[in-house]
């Protein structure tokens, strides 16, 4: 337990550290800095869960507030020691149980895990306050032949299961999903129904691809329009399947249920794949370029907003973010963000970017952005994000017009050298029009 030590200005931990230990404690998220100077305990009035890495070393903490208050759950920020997208709560302790049973059950939170273990159910782990990542699936792959997602039956639980499908398909890991009744979480279910009822629920779990298809049919129906919508939403799921045989079997199975020819699904998929392949090709070319410029202050703000608010990727692309970031490492990051957005059909979390970026400057920039945002609890609200988006789109419009005006000025200068007065006149008119647009903003 981390005390709510108001009498010590909420600096219970900081007051007990040497001065040279303070900066590292801030970086690791144990302390937070006050605007007026000094520090305060980041974890206070919370039940604390130590989080272990694969070798049993404590790399971070999770805290659940006692009583009312926000945020309800708080985790250490990403740092050199702690990366929440690569760790799983309970994996170090439950590794042997998972390996022996060749099965892992994934629950949504720390308390869900603790309750099941307390009731004698051992092969269980939990992600660390974020959506499940591909790297976390990789951690379980050598230990388990099958992974069962045991999630709440509400809309959030269904969406969490749907988002996880692509990771399991990409890693070729068998996975099923068991949804709890609406009125239950794992703790209340096992308390009221018993451990055997929980095991039966897990045994009856549905395979993930089947689960997604059933939800899409329930959402859209099997009318002509409904089938078109279902096929469109199945594209990212099919794209995620890396094994040709796996994709072929899925296409044949889905086609049978939907009453269409397998070739129709494949044909519909081809268009989406081609667009994604063009993005991938562009990303690979840019990533190999050694002369990319670092990000300046304005560019950092732009790429930070894009990374932390991936739902606005298409809007930012249409507004010209690619052009403004051209030639910088931000362009490479944004290209990868667009690839992920296409592959995941918009079901993208900021942390997903870290699981696909190779080691290098781009990954370092993204890790730093996420660490600072988490440390400052700086993920925007929906209203705040939309307001900032409007400001950024306006800024991008101004920046692009300024670039166009500068380019026209250079062309005019070149035309003056050749005394091409007709061309100069046309270019001046264009520049006046662009400058007029710029002033009107």
The CATH number that applies at residue 11 is 3.90.980.10
Query: The domain containing residue 328 runs over which residues?
Result: 291-379
Whole-prediction pTM = 0.65
Locate 417 and state its tokens.
């050298």
**Closest-CA residue to 77 (of 360, 350, 359):** 350
**What 3 state SS string does 68-108 have?**
CCCCCEEECCCCCCCCCCCCCECHHHHHHHHHHHCEEEECC
CA 27 – CA 13 distance, rounded (Å): 14
Q: Which two tokens stand for residue 433?
A: 């029009």
Residue 77 token pair? 């920020």
Q: Do 228 and 262 belong together in one domain?
A: yes
Q: Give the residue among 88, 86, 120, 93 at the shortest CA–CA distance from 107.
A: 88
189 shares a domain with 109: yes
Point out the domain boundary residue: 364, 379, 394: 379
**8-state DSSP, 149:** E
* Within-domain flag for 317: yes
pLDDT at 179: 96
Round to whole Å and give the CA distance between 89 and 98. Answer: 13
Q: What is the mean pLDDT of residues 264-273?
A: 61
Question: How sure is the predictor about 203, in pLDDT bands with cuts at 50, 70 and 90?
Answer: very high
pLDDT digits (tens, 9 = 90+) for 111-146: 999 999 999 999 999 999 778 988 999 999 999 999
pLDDT at residue 102, as a whole number: 96
**pLDDT score at 87:** 94
Between CA 317 and CA 340 the distance in angstroms is 14
Higher pLDDT, 434 or 283: 434
Q: In this structure, is residue 427 part of a structural domain?
A: yes
Listed residues 332, 364, 379: the one ending a domain: 379
Residues 433 and 414 placed together within one structural domain of the fold: yes
pLDDT band at 291; cut points 50, 70, 90? low
Domain assignment present for 82 = no
Look at residue 439 and tell me whether its pLDDT is greater than 80. Answer: yes
Q: Are residues 390 and 416 in the same domain?
A: yes
Q: Give yes or no: residues 399 and 421 share one domain.
A: yes
In-domain check, residue 247: yes
pLDDT at 383 over 60: no
In a domain, 1, yes or no: no
Distance CA 385, CA 378 (A): 11
In this structure, what token pair is assigned to residue 132? 């499940």
362 and 296 both lie in a single domain: yes
Residues 36 and 15 in one domain: yes
Scored b (16 or more CB within 10 A) or e, 330-355 reads: bbbbbbbbbbbbbbbbebbbbbbbbb
For the chain, give the percent of residues with pLDDT over 90: 29
Q: Which residue has the higher pLDDT, 100 or 165?
A: 100
User: Is the CB of residue 125 less than 8 Å from the CB of residue 88?
Assistant: yes
Q: Are residues 370 and 423 in the same domain?
A: no
Q: Which residues contact 394 (CB under 8 A, 6 or more apart)?
A: 441
Q: Per-residue pLDDT tens for 327-367?
A: 888 888 888 888 778 776 666 777 778 777 777 777 788 88
Q: How far apart are CA 226 and CA 232, in angstroms?
A: 10
The mean pLDDT value for 81-104 works out to 94
Residues 122 and 54 in one domain: no
Which comes out higher in pLDDT, residue 68 or 92?
Answer: 92
Domain closes at, from 331, 346, 379: 379
Residue 90 near residue 126, CB atoms below 8 Å: yes
* Parallel, antiparallel or unpaired: strands 73-75 and 58-65: antiparallel
**Cα torsion 208, 212, 218, 222: sign:** negative
Same domain? For 198 and 302 the reply is: no
The number of distinct structural domains making up the chain is 5
Q: pLDDT at position 137, please?
A: 94
The reported pLDDT for the residue numbered 279 is 46
The verdict on residue 283 lying in a domain is no
In this structure, are 100 and 183 located in the same domain?
Answer: yes
358, 416: one domain: no
**Is 155 a domain residue?**
yes
Rounded CA separation 104/26 (Å): 35
**Is residue 123 one of the residues assigned to a domain?**
yes
pLDDT at 174: 94
What lies within 8 Å, CB to CB, of 435 at 6+ separation is 405
């Amino acid at each position: 337990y981390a005390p709510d030590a108001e009498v010590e200005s909420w600096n219970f931990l900081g007051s007990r550290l040497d001065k040279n230990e303070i900066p590292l404690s801030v970086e690791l998220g144990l302390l937070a800095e006050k605007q007026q100077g000094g520090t305060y305990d980041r974890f206070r009035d919370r039940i604390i869960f130590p989080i272990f890495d694969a070798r049993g070393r404590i790399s971070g903490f999770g805290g659940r507030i006692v009583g009312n208050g926000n945020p309800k759950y708080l985790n250490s920020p990403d740092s050199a020691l702690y990366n929440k997208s690569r760790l799983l709560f309970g994996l170090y302790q439950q590794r042997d149980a998972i390996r022996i049973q060749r099965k892992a059950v994934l629950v949504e939170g720390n308390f869900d895990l603790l309750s099941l273990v307390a009731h004698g159910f051992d092969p269980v782990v939990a992600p660390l306050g974020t959506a499940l990542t591909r790297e976390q699936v990789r951690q379980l792959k050598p230990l388990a032949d099958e992974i069962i997602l045991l999630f709440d039956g509400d809309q959030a639980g269904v969406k969490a299961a749907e988002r996880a499908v692509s990771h399991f398909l990409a890693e070729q890991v068998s996975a099923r999903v068991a949804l709890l009744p609406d009125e239950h979480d794992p703790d209340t279910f096992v308390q009221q129904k018993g451990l055997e009822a929980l095991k039966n629920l897990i045994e009856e779990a549905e395979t993930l691809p089947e689960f997604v298809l059933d939800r899409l049919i329930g959402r859209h129906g099997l009318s002509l329009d409904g089938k078109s919508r279902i096929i469109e939403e199945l594209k990212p799921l099919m794209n995620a399947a890396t094994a040709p045989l796996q994709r072929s079997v899925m296409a044949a199975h889905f086609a049978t249920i939907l009453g269409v020819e397998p070739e129709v699904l494949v044909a519909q998929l081809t268009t989406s794949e081609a667009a994604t392949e063009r993005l991938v090709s562009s990303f690979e070319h840019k990533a190999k370029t050694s002369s990319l410029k670092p990000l300046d202050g304005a560019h950092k703000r732009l790429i930070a907003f894009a990374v932390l608010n991936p739902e606005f990727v298409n809007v930012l692309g249409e507004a010209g973010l690619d052009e403004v970031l051209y030639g910088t490492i931000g362009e490479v990051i944004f290209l990868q963000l667009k690839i992920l957005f296409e592959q995941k059909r918009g079901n993208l979390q900021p942390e997903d970017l870290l699981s696909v970026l190779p080691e290098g400057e781009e990954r370092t920039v993204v890790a730093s952005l996420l660490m600072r945002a988490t440390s400052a609890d700086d993920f925007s609200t929906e209203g705040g994000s939309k307001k900032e988006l409007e400001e950024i789109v306006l800024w991008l419009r101004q920046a692009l017009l300024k670039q166009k005006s500068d380019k026209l000025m250079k062309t005019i200068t070149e035309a003056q050298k050749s005394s091409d007065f007709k061309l100069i006149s046309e270019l001046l008119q264009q520049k006046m029009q662009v400058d007029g647009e710029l002033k009107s903003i």
